[in-house]
Structure 1
């Protein structure tokens, strides 16, 4: 039986493990942390990624965690609507909408799928990878060397494997904005008059101001996921990140100030946003394939980071052939590089639009969005059409 070793137990690594197991590979997933630990709070799984998860037999488990009611709106900082779409419109166009969920919940589903397909020994935690021989397919670890017909590098945006395969290639670049993420129990939120905040007061929305963005999503279990970005130098930190958020967003429309007041400062995650500005020449070398952020890190503006990692995994599982590893991995690069490069660039374009600070530029941006929405009310969906219409290889062939 052909053997694959996957480096990294995140979304891309676990998805790749499941995909390869379902194609008959023997799989070992290596994670250097002592347990699978989610980074960040929430993430979006859009229609394209739900179809990819269907190919892994896990799509309905994710859909079961959906909490999507009412329109999805893009608003100004004062609450005025710029554009919107609905669950029904998305489902009618693509057969699915979007599930915003806890990253931890997705990792649990993927880890469960891995164990079901290959047994509990497929995942080895607490195992650090110290090097890779791409030509021979050898992974050097803290517990000894592992030989593989295929090595999948899903070791994230700071991928040591990518640097080893493409020495001298530029690392991901800073996008100019910092992101904050937090989970807030809805029951802890109080409006200005002291009254509780019921779910109807928490619409699914993303609001744009001068250089800043704040998104709000109600998750299953009545937890509110918020994410916020603002222009800032890299490497920054505040003594109290809740106070920092209130300083930046405290005068925005409700329920944003109420949500921020209810946030636990100790549970607010802050980090800088990086993206792969210079595309890699290939997503493989020798017997090694790169997936997810290791291959094509992108800004979060399209909500496609995790989605593209899952797509990578499904395509790799479909194409990888132990009888001809070089040729099959070249096909993987050919299938994924152009698409993901376009998405990286489109996401960066949105990032640049959202970080505009000049008042005239902001007014022109918002006016253009409002006018375009009047002309084409399905603007939000149509702008994502190429991304959301993707289908897994086997389904697309049919």
Structure 2
């Protein structure tokens, strides 16, 4: 089966879906309101499920070559004591790949490079989608319109199309956490490839990149909308006394490089990821907190699953039914697990509860961390070739 698709949103999920559909012979247009396709941003970790989805889409090798495997790391307390460690080599033996770290801008560049330039319509905003007959959907783009056999809503956590397709859904809510993040201006020597450090209602994490630079993120319990005149200074005040290399990472960061976003999620699950010939993908379908590092990986799973369904299904309708049946239970389960991980991890604030959690982590068998990762990362994409 072939056809035409308009993909609303040029983020990781939207570009991945475009790659998949273009690869099976569909005519694809990606509509992105930004004038630049995510050439700014911090970093991202990809688990085995995300890498497997990229492999199925034909871009896994390029991403692996640009990413840094995460073999050494774990979770620490602010004074530097280890709470748990992760063996990346053992994870690689179990899944065929370790977790890898890559700058978001580089991942976006690699995804764009896998598409013909004429597929991308940049600086244009899709404002609505409506059926025009039994088999076509019309997308309003500025003062223009595009007709297609399928519309993929990959327009993020604040998805306008989701609000139109499911007007009774309450939409995203604030998670209670805000995140500040950046990439260091220069390389920093690290003893680990990644580390998470949990304090009271706060988390500081870092991942290394191939060029020696480091992505760091600081997640805090906070009311929504709080902003700082100097974000880097605010992070220094909160985390500057934590263990090395946290002070060194902040010292190697430009003040204007710090990004600050409140974290929103869909706590009310959608009743379906499809409506007519429109399909939701990525954060538009299942925005989740970052506490399992699975947001982008779930979007990549969506893209691979949608591609397989359309490549092998007899009709668009049957393909979308299959996509919804396969993706909605899994992605909503991962979203619930991410929310719970945040409550027991970064968001836990009472000193006695934090002390009890830390003691439990130190006493837990070494395989607990591995089993937690495997529970979500051991996913195999459906075949379509």
Using structure 2 for the length normalisation, give the TM-score: 0.95
Who is 1:387 aligned against?
Answer: 376
What is the distance in 1 between the residues matched to 2:370 and 2:147? Answer: 45
Who is 2:108 aligned against?
Answer: 107
Q: Is the 8 A contact 2:189 2:212 kept in 1?
A: no
What is the distance in 2 between the residues matched to 1:147 and 1:68? Answer: 42
Deviations 1:254-302 (A, max 9, x none): 1112211332111100110111100000001000000000000000111
- Over 3 Å counting, the alpha-carbon distance change for 1:257 and 1:278 in structure 2 is same
What is the distance in 1 between the residues matched to 2:67 and 2:367? Answer: 22
What is the distance in 1 between the residues matched to 2:314 and 2:383? Answer: 20
Q: CA deviation at 1:121?
A: 0.8
Q: Is the 8 A contact 1:186 1:198 kept in 2?
A: no
Report the aligned-residue RMSD.
1.7
Aligned residues: 379
What is the distance in 2 between the residues matched to 1:71 and 1:378? Answer: 15
What is the distance in 1 between the residues matched to 2:314 and 2:146? Answer: 19
Q: Is the 8 A contact 2:190 2:245 kept in 1?
A: no
1:9 match: secondary structure:
coil
1:21 match: secondary structure:
helix
Who is 1:122 aligned against?
Answer: 119
Matching of residue 227 in structure 1 with residue 224 in structure 2 = no
1:369 match: secondary structure:
helix
Matching of residue 362 in structure 1 with residue 363 in structure 2 = no
Q: CA deviation at 1:203?
A: 4.5
Gaps of 5+ in 1: 188-196
Who is 2:170 aligned against?
Answer: 170
Q: Is the 8 A contact 2:76 2:83 kept in 1?
A: yes
Superposed counterparts of 1:156-235, under 5 Å: 156-187=156-187, 198-200=189-191, 203-235=193-225
Matching of residue 56 in structure 1 with residue 57 in structure 2 = yes
1:251 match: secondary structure:
coil
Superposed counterparts of 1:140-155, under 5 Å: 140-155=140-155
Gaps of 5+ in 2: none
What is the distance in 1 between the residues matched to 2:125 and 2:264? Answer: 24
Who is 1:339 aligned against?
Answer: 330
Q: Is the 8 A contact 2:204 2:217 kept in 1?
A: yes
Who is 1:192 aligned against?
Answer: none
Who is 1:193 aligned against?
Answer: none
Superposed counterparts of 1:230-249, under 5 Å: 230-249=220-239
1:78 match: secondary structure:
coil
What is the distance in 2 between the residues matched to 1:311 and 1:147? Answer: 26
Q: Is the 8 A contact 2:127 2:161 kept in 1?
A: no
Matching of residue 14 in structure 1 with residue 4 in structure 2 = no
- Over 3 Å counting, the alpha-carbon distance change for 1:352 and 1:39 in structure 2 is farther
What is the distance in 1 between the residues matched to 2:320 and 2:39? Answer: 29
Moved more, 260-269 or 5-14: 260-269
Matching of residue 348 in structure 1 with residue 332 in structure 2 = no
Q: CA deviation at 1:134?
A: 4.4
1:306 match: secondary structure:
helix
Q: Is the 8 A contact 2:173 2:264 kept in 1?
A: yes
What is the distance in 1 between the residues matched to 2:194 and 2:4? Answer: 43
